[in-house]
Amino acid sequence: MRVLKTNTEPTTIWTYLKSGKEFWTDHVTQRELDAADYFLKDGESKWPIALEECREKSLVLSAFGGLVWYLRSVSSL
């Protein structure tokens, strides 16, 4: 954290996500993306190739879930 803070601008906005609630697990991320029909095409779910390749990588999908949660939270402002 110290390395990040010393190498970023003083105006950098820091956001900490709560594990489980705001930083989703890989399973919650998959469920949320499917339930919200983010990748619905012609009546069926078709994930982008890059994300499809990451579906089995739990840490990558969890990080993506944190990003989706954050974007949802700021879009409602």
Determine the Cα–Cα distance for residues 71 and 62; give it in Å rounded to an integer: 14
Which helix (H) or strand (E) covers residue 75, if one does? helix 58-75
Please tell me the pTM assigned to this model: 0.71
- What confidence score (pLDDT) does residue 1 get? 77
Q: Could you report the per-residue pLDDT of 43-74, keeping only the tens digit for each?
A: 888 889 999 898 899 999 999 999 999 998 88
Q: Could you report the per-residue pLDDT of 14-44, keeping only the tens digit for each?
A: 777 788 788 899 999 999 998 998 888 888 8
- What confidence score (pLDDT) does residue 40 get? 85
Find the mean pLDDT for residues 1-7: 84
Measured in whole angstroms, the distance separating CA 2 from the mean position of its chain's CA atoms is: 24
